[in-house]
Structures are given as C-alpha cells and as structure tokens.
Amino acid sequence: GAYTRRADRVVRSVCPFCGVGCAVDLHVRDGRLDRVEGAPGPANAGRLCVKGRFGMDYVHHPQRLTTPLIRRPDAPKDPALLTRGPGGRPDPHALRAQFRPASWDEALDVAAAGLARVRDAARSLGLRGRAVPVAGFGSAKGSNEEAYLFQKLIRSAFGTHNVDHCTRLCHASSVAALMEGIGSGAVSNPVRDCAHADLIVVMGANPVQNHPVAATWIKNAVRRGARLVLIDPRRTELSRHAWRTLTFTPGSDVALLNAMLHVIVTEGLVNEAFVAARVHAGDVQALRAHLQAFAPEAMAPLCGIDAATIREVARAYATSPAAMIFWGMGVAQHSHGTDNVRALIALALLTGHIGRPGTGLHPLRGQNNVQGASDAGLIPMVLPDYRRVADPAARAAAEAAWGLPNGFLPDEPGLTVVEILDAAYDGRIRAMLIQGENPAMSDPDAHHARAALARLEHLVVADIFLTETAALADVVLPATAWPEKTGSVTNTDRTVQLGRPALAPPGDARADAWILEQLARRLGLDWDYGIDPHGGGGAPDNGIGRVFDEMRSLMPALAGLSWERLLRVGAITHPVPTADDPGHPIVFTDRFPTPDGRARLVPACLGAPAEPPDAHYPFVLITGRQLEHWHTGAMTRRSAVLDALEPTPHVSLHPATLARLGLAPGAPVRLRSRRGEVSVATRVDEAVPPDVAFLPFAYVEAAANVLTIAALDPVAKIAEVKYCAVAIEPVTSP
Ligand code: SF4
C-alpha cells in the first residue's frame, strides 16, 4: 500500500502550516511528495495533525503558478471576479485570462519599473517616510531570510517603513502589551513546558483545531494531573478536559480578567517577594487602586460568569505552585486587544508565575513563521530584533549593514496593514509589493480591501497560486512552496528550525528570495547574495546562508547562531547570544529585557466592542479557523484530503439560535453586516453561545471578512475581526 512504498529520498523539514512548528520527514518518490511523517522535533516529538500529515499535496496542485504573468491592457481590475464563478467561487480560467505569460526578465523589469516610477515621482516631491506612496506586505508563511530580505528591500529601495505582515491581524496587540510590560514580545515558555504546570489557562484559543499538536501536550498535562481552565465564549472541544470552563460574554475579557486580579490583590494572593524583586516600584499600588472598581460581584453581569467561579479560578491560579497561560486570537483580535493582554500579563506578574518551569505567558502564534518574520523586522515600527525605528543607534546599524547613507532611514514608523489599505483606497499609497499574503481575503471589511487593491496604480504579487489578491495584480511572479526551498523558520516557542528542499519548483517558478534579489537590483540596490533561483543551495558562504548571517549580525538574539551551526544542529531556541550558548526555552528567569530589568504593570481598561448588536443587526459574529483549513484557504482548499473533509463553508449556530430563527440545521441563511453579506449553510453547534454566529474565514464564496469591521486597537492597530454585529436571514438557496 501507499504507506509502505519505499521513498527515493526522505528530507527532514518543518510543517508549513501552524506556529507549533512540527518537524516532518518528507518522503519523495519520482519527484513528488509521496507521504509526510512526523519527525522527532523539539515541538512535536514525532506527532502531527491532519494538516501536517495529509495537507501538503497542495504543492502539486494543477493551479500552481508556473510562469510570470503580466496583466493584459484590456483587462481592468475587477473585484467582482472574485465571486463570479461556480458556487460563488472565482472561475480560475476567468482570473487567468486577465494576464498574459511573460519571461522572467520582462516580468521583473515591468514589476520593478512600476514601483520605481511611483517612488521617483514621490522623491521629486520631497516625500519621505510614511508619506512615500509605496508599501509592502511580506509573509509569515515564508522563511526568516525571505522576511528579512523583504523588509530590507522596502526600507532600502523606498526609504519608508511602510512594511508589515499578517502579525498585524493576529498578535500585534499581544506583542504591543508584552513589549510594554516585559520588554519582549516572544513567549516565555515553550508549549511542552505545560508538562510542568499544575494549572493551565487557555483563553481565546482553540488549540484542538488551530494548534492541534500543542493541544495534545495540554491534554497530556491534564492526564498527568494539571488543572485546565478554559476561558472562551465558545465551549470548544478542549472543555472536555477542563477543570473549569468559563464561557464568558464576547468582548468582556477585561471585565473578567480584572475581576480575577481584584480577587488576587484583595485576598492577599499577591506574590510579594516576586513583585518586590521583579516589578517596577509603584506599579502595584497604581494597579490596586485601578482594580477597586472590578469586584467579581460587579463584573459578573458584564462577563456572564458568576462571582463565585471568578473567585475560585483566581484563587486556584494564584495558589498553584506553577501556572501557565496560553492565549490566542480570541484575546488579541479586538479593538481593546492590548488591554486584554495587559490584564493577562498582570496575572502572571502579580503571582510570580513567570520565569520558572511550568509557568509563563504563551501567545499561541498562528502561522508557521509569524514569530520569525516579526523577529526579522517585518513590522513598520521596528527593525530586526524589535529595535525601534525611532532609535538612532538601531537605524545607524541597519544603514551600515545595508550600505545605505547615514540618515537614510526615516525615524517615524510606517503604516500598518489596515492603514496601508486605507491609504491605497484614498490614493496615498499607489504601488505595492505583496509576497505570500492574501489581504483580499484576510483583511477586515474585505470589499473595502479589495477595492483598495484594485485602485493601486501598480501591484506586484509573488505567490504560489493566483490568489484573490494576485488576481488584482499588475504583475504576478510564480514563487516557491515551502518544501521546495532552503530556509529557516521560528515557531511559537522561539525555536529556529531548518527547512530543506525536497522538491523542484514546478515549471518556471522561482525561489522567493531570488525574486527579491532580482527586484532589488532593478531598483538600484547592489544585492549580490548569489541566491539559487530554484530554492536549493544553503552553503554558509552564499545564497540563503549569507542572508542568514547578515540578518543575525543585526540581531543580538541570534548572535551565536551562525548558518553553519544551524545546518549542524537543525533546531535551537533563541536567544542564542554566543556560539557556545545552548539556547533558552525558558526566559525571564532572573530579569526582564527592560532598561532596568523590571516589568511594568499597566492597568487594563474596559473597552466596549466597536459594533455591539442592535435591533437591525442582533447577532454577534465571531470569525476564526477550523482544523481542516488554514487561514485564507489558498493552500488547504487545494489539498485533496482536507478539501474532501471540509469542502464548503458553514456558519455554526447554537440550537437555540436556530430555533429562534425557525431554521433546521443545514438550512441556508444570509449573514448581513453594515459592510456586506454572504450566503452560507448553517451547522448546529452547542459550543457556540446563543445569539452568536461563528464563521471560518477560509472560504471565498462566503468570505467572513466581507462582514467584519476594520475598527482598530489604538495601540497595536490590530483589527476587531473577532466581533461585529450581523443580521441572519433565511434564504431559499445558499
Ligand atoms: Fe503542522 Fe501545526 Fe499540525 Fe504541527 S500542529 S502538523 S505544525 S499544522
């Protein structure tokens, strides 16, 4: 049978889907991926979920881009094409017909010339910094080296920090609050450290579906005796293993968490020794005063959890010898996401549950390399290693490493993802380079986002499929899938792992890093890394190896990890400050990376959702992922097994909601918000609270983000894609 066939080659790599970062063995036969098996990596010890094991056949899908494409002059950019096809999906032939094939030389020339034209016109007007009308979205799905090159290209070629990626839509609020509180946006303890926890809090995350192998480690910890507290508006599958499940009212995170903090400060549960040694003097007093108004009895009606349960859970967390907090998009993706995370940080700091085994703060990263792309500086506020663009020394170091004149880099942050598309809509951004991201599906208020992309004077997209975003481009450059190239990725645990090429890119597709190098040269930069166009290479003295070593020269966290060392060890957890340092799975053991080594407690304020339900839009919409599909579906909907398991979209509703609407499970409905509408079949799900609808965002024919709101957290600029108001109406056909 298929599973006993001998492979021609077995290549050790990393799963390309979620942030857990499972090590995989890619079995290759006759130049094709024959099967995938779990390998003994630090994050998975051989375990894999359905996506890693069965989802990687997208690499061989017939819709892979195999030649560069240039938009035909008679093909206007039309967002309506994205839903004008069988079943409300785009017709791939109609999308493809907008373009003509081109040689690499011609496509790169046209791509670079359009970007240069907009840049040079802006320069002649004296525009600088965020006013430069060019922007880039890099990707958390590529390698560290690609992310590093992407941000370097945008910054060096255009003199702007208008460069961002999907972290803005997932954990930007977590990173903002963590940087402010403890001086680092990364996790403090790896997932598998929950094996040493006595109590585990999982809030606003559904790891069984979104980080499945992480969920297995949590379940193992529960079997060993740890108590699990699940805090989520939905009673997700993990609740079967939970000691307490708190299905709180969506949007009331701060009310619930501050009530727990109130219990801790009023019942003498503060770890005074830890606070005295590790927290900024005076912060505790200010927080105590702030928390006076948050007694559990006062907050219970707001958050829908009775006061006794709030007190019980707060006491259990504070008095456990070791307690660990995981959180996900349900906490972060709100217009008050930064405040939500501030409250979680305060829980850990007041109780001293950080810096030891089995404790700490772990924002579960969504994509395989969102940690690494952020580390590499693919963010408008920071250069590599989170060095602020306002810091003259950080700018000077980057300018020296990149051969730029002194004072070339601007000192103000660039625009963020949603701000860039807003600027594209009103003409302040006129040209963009997008690599491996799909904002036509992933950005909130998708009609607006798609119109903004269509209005761009010049859009260059490098990707492996003609995604909804690529379909609005002027030039499309066929790139490589993860199993086709050399590169490193950094998972949610901060573990840097090596991906090795197992397959040749299809047709004339080329390595993403090579594409960036070619564009850079055409934009006047003297890049000469010697990157292999076909994704191979990786010797320490050229190509990806040279990129990695240049990157680490700007990153103290990776200073001791040469490319040669990474090739040798395959995986290591940063920070790795010196060549003989073994890496640090647990950090903040004796100080925080703040100027004085102490953490800050920042009071979290109650924030109302931007768009509460009302008489016209009486239901709350929550969006998210599901086990079988990943993000915008570009890869997983082209995987035979995953697509067979979940071929069509559903909106999940509580039986009481279906009854209120007079609908049977499976009945088609129209979901309507102030921004758009989608038609979709219903699915009964008792885990979803009454009057709440859950819609995954992987399906273009019922795109959840057509409905969502672009309200932003004022600190982190993350959008509130976890909460908006919708109407639900029966329809006769989906
Ligand atoms: Fe891949 Fe994540 Fe599944 Fe591991 S848990 S196999 S990294 S999708």
Q: Which two tokens stand for residue 89?
A: 């999906």
CB 365 less than 6 A from any atom of ligand 1: no
pLDDT (0 to 100) of residue 97: 97
pTM of the full structure: 0.93
Tell me the C-alpha distance between 411 and 432, whole Å.
Answer: 21
Instruction: Assess whether the C-beta atom of 630 lies below 6 angstroms from ligand 1.
Output: no
pLDDT of residue 636: 82
The pLDDT of residue 324 is above 80: yes
- pLDDT reported for residue 221: 98
Q: How many domains does the chain have?
A: 4
Same domain, 720 and 655: yes
Quote the tokens at residue 133: 């009308």
Q: What is the pLDDT of residue 458?
A: 98
Domain endpoint, select from 60, 87, 108: 60
Cβ of residue 629 lying under 6 Å from some atom of ligand 1: no
724 strand-pairing partners: 621
48 and 149 assigned to the same domain: no
Burial (Cβ within 10 Å: 0-12, 13-18, ≥19) of residue 521: middle
17 in contact with ligand 1, CB cutoff 6 A: yes
Q: Specify the pairing of strand 475-478 against strand 69-71.
A: antiparallel
- Note down the domain range covering 356: 172-363
Strand pairing class (431-435; 134-137) = parallel
- Determine the Cα–Cα distance for residues 409 and 263; give it in Å rounded to an integer: 48
Co-location of 160 and 200 in the same domain: no
Residue 52 beta carbon below 6 angstroms from any ligand 1 atom: yes
Same domain, 640 and 723: yes
Are 44 and 79 part of one and the same domain?
no
- Structure letter (DSSP) for residue 480: -
Q: What is the pLDDT of residue 4?
A: 62
Q: What CATH number is attached to the domain comprising 312?
A: 3.40.228.10
pLDDT band (50, 70, 90) for residue 350 = very high
Per the CB < 8 A criterion, the answer to whether 516 and 534 are in contact is: no
Q: What is the average per-residue pLDDT within 682-689?
A: 92
| Residues 354 and 246 grouped into a single domain | yes
| Amino acid of residue 151 | Q
State residue 57's pLDDT score: 94
CA distance 492 to 186: 8
Of 17, 36, 60, the residue that ends a domain is 60
383 and 414 in a single domain? The answer is: yes
- 613 part of a folded domain: no
pLDDT in tens, 547-594: 999 999 999 999 999 999 999 999 999 999 999 999 999 999 999 999
What pLDDT score was predicted for residue 1? 43
- The amino acid sitting at 561 is L
Q: Are residues 73 and 45 in the same domain?
A: no
Could you give the C-alpha distances from 571 to 184, 489, 578, 671, in angstroms and in order? 21, 10, 15, 45
Instruction: Give the integer Cα–Cα distance in Å for 544 and 531.
Output: 6
The CA 53 to ligand 1 mean position distance, Å, reads 8
| Residue-level pLDDT at 718 | 67
Q: Are residues 94 and 181 in the same domain?
A: no
* Residue 642 beta carbon below 6 angstroms from any ligand 1 atom: no
Q: Whose CA is nearest to atom 2 of ligand 1?
A: 18
Q: What is the mean pLDDT of residues 662-679?
A: 94
pLDDT digits (tens, 9 = 90+) for 523-549: 999 999 999 999 987 777 779 999 999
Q: Which atom of ligand 1 is nearest to the CA of 20?
A: 7
361: its two tokens: 């703060």
- Judge if 349 and 470 occupy the same domain: no
CA 52 to ligand 1 center in whole angstroms: 5
User: Is the beta carbon of 360 within 6 A of some atom in ligand 1?
Assistant: no
Q: How confident is the model at residue 716 (pLDDT cuts 50, 70, 90)?
A: low
Instruction: For residue 471, report the distance from its CA to the centre of ligand 1, in Å.
Output: 29
pLDDT for 638 equals 87
Q: Say yes or no: CB of residue 20 within 6 Å of ligand 1.
A: yes
How far is ligand 1, taken at its centre, from the CA of residue 642, in Å?
13
Instruction: Give the closest residue (by CA) to ligand 1 atom 3.
Output: 49
> pLDDT digits over 253-301, tens only?
999 999 999 999 999 999 999 999 999 989 999 999 999 999 999 999 9
Nearest residue CA, atom 6 of ligand 1? 52
| Residue-level pLDDT at 28 | 97
| Ligand 1 pocket member 14 (CB < 6 A) | no
Any ligand 1 atom below 6 A from CB of 49: yes
Give distance in angstroms: CA of 406 to centre of ligand 1.
Answer: 43
Q: Which atom of ligand 1 is nearest to the CA of 211?
A: 5
Q: Which residues pair with 572 in a beta bridge?
A: 496
- What are the residues facing 620 on neighbouring strands? 692, 725
Helix axes 392-402, 144-158, angle to 10 degrees: 100
Averaged pLDDT, 54-78: 96
Atom of ligand 1 nearest to the CA of 52: 6
Mean pLDDT of the chain: 93
Contact 532, 514 (CB under 8 A): yes
Residue 86 falls inside a structural domain:
yes
The tokens describing 642, both together, are 């995953």
Residue nearest to atom 4 of ligand 1 (CA): 22
Q: What's the gap in Å between 167 CA and the centre of ligand 1?
A: 18
Write the DSSP assignment of 249-302 as a string of letters: PTT-HHHHHHHHHHHHHHTT-S-HHHHHHHB-TTHHHHHHHHHGGG-HHHHHHH
Cis, bond preceding 575 (omega within 30 deg of 0) = yes
Neighbours of 553 (CB within 10 A): 14
Most distant pair of Cα atoms in the chain: their distance? 72
Q: Check pLDDT > 80 for residue 316.
A: yes
Q: For residue 123, what is the domain's CATH number? A: 3.40.50.740
Judged by DSSP in three states, 593 sits in: coil
Ligand 1 and 482: CB distance under 6 A:
no
Calculate the alpha carbon distances from 457 to 17, 430, 433, 463, 473 in Å. Answer: 32, 5, 12, 20, 10
Same domain, 326 and 411: no
Contact 341, 333 (CB under 8 A): no
224 in the same domain as 132: no
587 located within any domain? no
pLDDT digits (tens, 9 = 90+) for 87-140: 888 899 999 999 999 999 999 999 999 999 999 999 999 999 999 999 999 999
Q: Round to whole Å and give the CA distance between 14 and 493.
A: 14
pLDDT (0 to 100) of residue 512: 97
CA 214–ligand 1 middle distance (angstroms): 8
In-domain check, residue 611: no
Q: Are 134 and 423 in contact (CB under 8 A)?
A: no
CA distance 580 to 451: 52
715 CB burial (10 A radius; 0-12, 13-18, 19+): middle
Q: How far apart are CA 662 and CA 669, in angstroms?
A: 11
Q: How confident is the model at residue 161 (pLDDT cuts 50, 70, 90)?
A: very high
- What's residue 610's pLDDT? 86
Cβ-Cβ contacts under 8 Å for 268 (sequence gap 6 or more)? none
Amino acid at 713: D
- What number does the ligand 1 atom closest to the CA of 213 have? 5
Q: Flag whether pLDDT at 734 surpasses 60.
A: no
| Tens-place pLDDT, residues 166-203 | 877 666 788 889 999 999 888 999 999 999 999 999 99
